Amino acid sequence: MSPRAEAGPHAMQLPRHSLRRRIAVWLLPPLALLVAINAALSYFSALEAVNRAYDRSLGASIKAIAESTYSLEGTIVVNIPTTAFEIFSGDLQERVFYAVVGPDGSVITGYEDLLPARVPAIEGGALRIADTVYHGQPVRLGLMKKRLYDPALANGDSATIVFAETTESRVALARELFLDSLRRQSLLVALGIVLLLLALGSALRPLVALRQQVLARSPEDLTPIPAAGIPAEVKPLIDAINRHTERLSRLFGARRRFLADAAHQIRTPLAVLSTQAEVGLRQPQTEGTREAFQAMLATVRSTRRMADQMLALSQAESAELTHAVAPLDLAELARDTTAELAPLALRRDIDLAFEPSGAAAMRGDRPMLRELIGNLVHNAILYGPPGSEVVVATSADSGELRLAVSDQGPGIPAEERDKVFQRFYRILGQGGPEGSGLGLAIVREIAEFHRGTVRLLDGPGGLGLRVEVTFPAEQAPAVPEKG
């Protein structure tokens, strides 16, 4: 099977893991971790900001109570101002607690169990605020020592003002600020991911274009891949591929030259042997000698045809011999080629007919198409029994040209029809020494070069074989680009 026949849409497959997936695997988990860390820091930052704002109100309430607390002849007087509680009147969720503690530790007014021992006060009138728990609820507690300057007081002349509030409003406000911040960050992250995908798409676009360029190439096009517009990271890979294809090109070129040279070299001695056998047949000889010369001549002719077919196959495979593409009439070419093989049909007692159906204009390589037609007609004559008919027909319809060659020979079984396109494959029990197993391989190679297809069908009435070759009308064949 030719390389062109083996190539298909799956000849080049993409890796299972794409670059986008690899980049996503490396970037998204760390990005998610960073977002989580940033979210936690944002929450604590929001809570700290809320505490600073609320602590000002808490401190203002404590100072308002402290300003209304004084001592008179050993008696501590506390006038709780309404402003100390008005600050928290809007926070319906919050509850406030207060206490004024005398120098001896007794509660002068307020909640008896709201003791300052939980949060030690600072000497000198400084305000101290801390988180603690009161009656099982988290509270924000502030306290301050106020010096009363009354010598009549026992155990010192300082009173401690304690004020606490529950933290529901603080937490709710911090959560709201956190969610607002998280929404903005999520929007930025989503925008960043979109920009990253766009950047990846732009960065990988040259690779996608390169893939399409390589897929669009003919399987036999071994010219270097252009490196223009390719990212610098991919150029070493392109250079390696180009070096590899250069080695393959040299290898295939050497193989084609060997086949062509071998075919040319074999044709000369075969021509000499054929001439000698024909001369020997004309000389007086015994019946046995004559049969030997005839068998030798038949073998020489078969071998010579094989050499011609090897040369034709080498030319059909070679991308360097495709410069002769030009407009032509397939019907006219089929008629001329069929006429050239008429003497062979007469010798084998075969009725050779040509049935055109108007002009069949197309673009192609005339010598290669002549070889295709010649192989089909020669095979039909070779395998047709004496007295049978071989019909060559051309037609054009629906933008397609069709060449059909029908015979009344043994045909090809359905299970063998894919195998006969392999080189040197021959069906057991069919054909004589003139067959080489290269004819249909050459036909498919030339047809695929001209963007055509070959089908093997049953002959008319189910007898023999019908070979149909379909070409696109007025379309240039698949000539690989140079350079």
**Residue ranges of the domains in the chain?**
18-216, 217-321, 322-483
Which of the two residues, 333 and 4, has the higher pLDDT score?
A: 333
Q: Which residues, including other chains, have CB under 8 Å from residue 216's CB and lie 6 or more apart?
A: none
Query: Residue 467: pLDDT band by 50, 70, 90 thresholds?
Result: very high
Q: What is the mean pLDDT of residues 306-331?
A: 65
Pairing of strands 389-397, 453-458: unpaired
Q: Between residues 139 and 284, which one has the greater pLDDT?
A: 139
* Band of pLDDT at residue 400, cut at 50, 70 and 90: confident
In degrees to the nearest 10, what's the CA dihedral of 380, 384, 390, 396? Answer: -40
Regarding pTM above 0.85, the answer is no
Select from 304, 390, 401 the least CA-distant residue to 351.
390
Instruction: Look at residue 481 and tell me whether its pLDDT is greater than 50.
Output: no
Strands (E) across 111-246 are located at 127-134, 137-147, 158-166
Q: Are 429 and 371 in contact (CB under 8 A)?
A: no
pLDDT exceeds cutoff 70 at 286: no
Structure tokens at 149: 């300057």
Does the pLDDT value for residue 239 go beyond 80? yes
- Which one has a higher pLDDT value, 474 or 457? 457
Expressed in angstroms, the distance from the first to the final Cα of the chain is 27
Q: What pLDDT is recorded for position 4?
A: 41
Bridge-based pairing state of the strands 75-78 and 69-72: antiparallel
Residue 6 has pLDDT above 50, yes or no: no
Q: Does domain 322-483 have CATH number 3.30.565.10?
A: yes
Quick check: 317 pLDDT over 60? no
Question: Mean pLDDT across the stretch 300-306?
Answer: 65
How many CB atoms neighbour CB 95 within 10 A?
15
Pick 101 or 284 by higher pLDDT: 101
Report residue 453 CA to chain centroid gap: 29
Would the pLDDT of 448 be above 60? yes
User: Average pLDDT of 365-379?
Assistant: 89
Distance CA 74, CA 93 (A): 39
Are the C-beta atoms of 51 and 140 separated by less than 8 Å? yes
Contact 410, 382 (CB under 8 A): no
Which residues fall within 8 angstroms of residue 404, CB to CB, at 6 or more apart?
Answer: 391, 392, 393, 394, 395, 466, 467, 468, 469
Residue 30: per-residue pLDDT:
84
> What rounded mean pLDDT belongs to the chain?
77
For residues 440 and 371, what is the distance between their CA atoms, to the nearest angstrom? Answer: 11
Tell me the β-bridge partners of 96: 165
